[in-house]
Amino acid sequence: MSRENRPVWVVPPYTLRIDPSGLQIVSWPDPGLRSRATHVPSAEEVALVAPRMVELMHEASGIGLAAPQVGLPWRMFVTCVPDADPVDRVFVNPEIHLDLCGAPPQPYEEGCLSLPDLRLDVLRPKGASISATGADGSPFELSDAGLLARVWQHEYDHLEGRLIFDLAQPVDASLVKRWRKVHDAQ
């Protein structure tokens, strides 16, 4: 979805409103995917947007979706990983802590809902812990040393303006160049 087709924000005093039904997954090269996200404005906004983000993630058969991927500059993402954590989770203003002392970083093939048809080997630490606020406003902490940790890292990268082709193994560099050429032409 192009920037001009994004939902219109109406900014009354002290609140930020958006029609969540207008949210759609944006694709690269949308400039919002390269911007560092900011804190979520309010719990009210989370309550409006989180269900739509979960819906979009499931419609696209994804296991994670970050707010920048739906055109929102917020530090928020949602996940549902059927084989590891089969519940819809909302992470608001998350902080991630990587386990850099454990096993060496592992390569694993990743895809991204904002980079259709591109799958790349990405090297990441195996373990991570994360602290965030949930959709209900309660803080929580989780730890994992498997697929969940990878999903959290991937979605957190979106909040920092990083994409999988920024982290791809060197062997995949030529694939990324070909993919970019095809998608830039569209």
| CA–CA gap between residue 35 and residue 173 (Å, rounded) | 22
Q: Judging by DSSP bridges, how do beta strands 119-124 and 106-111 pair with one another? A: antiparallel
Assess whether pLDDT exceeds 80 at residue 44. yes
CATH number of the domain where residue 105 is located:
3.90.45.10
Q: Judging by DSSP bridges, how do beta strands 139-144 and 127-133 pair with one another? A: antiparallel
| HEC sequence for 127-162 | EEEEEEECCCCCEEEEEECCHHHHHHHHHHHHHCCC
Q: What is the pLDDT of residue 31?
A: 95
pTM of the model: 0.84
pLDDT digit string, tens, across residues 122-156:
999 999 999 999 999 999 999 999 999 999 999 99
- Tokens 């957190």 — which residue? 156
Q: What is the pLDDT of residue 60?
A: 98
Q: What is the pLDDT of residue 185?
A: 66
Range of the domain at 134: 3-185
Cβ neighbours around 59 below 10 Å, total: 10
What band does 3 get if pLDDT is binned at 50, 70 and 90?
A: very low
User: 65 near 51, Cβ under 8 Å?
Assistant: no
Q: How many structural domains comprise the chain?
A: 1
Assess whether pLDDT exceeds 70 at residue 53. yes
Higher-pLDDT residue of 74, 3: 74
Cis-peptide into 29, omega within 30 deg = yes
- The CA distances from residue 39 to 67, 68, 79, in Å, are 11, 12, 18
What band does 184 get if pLDDT is binned at 50, 70 and 90?
A: confident
pLDDT digit string, tens, across residues 9-35:
333 343 556 888 999 999 999 999 999
Q: Which residues are catalytic?
A: 155
Of all residues in the chain, the percent with pLDDT exceeding 90 is 65
| CA–CA gap between residue 94 and residue 183 (Å, rounded) | 31
pLDDT digit string, tens, across residues 78-94:
999 999 999 999 999 99
What band does 101 get if pLDDT is binned at 50, 70 and 90?
A: confident
Q: What is the pLDDT of residue 1?
A: 41
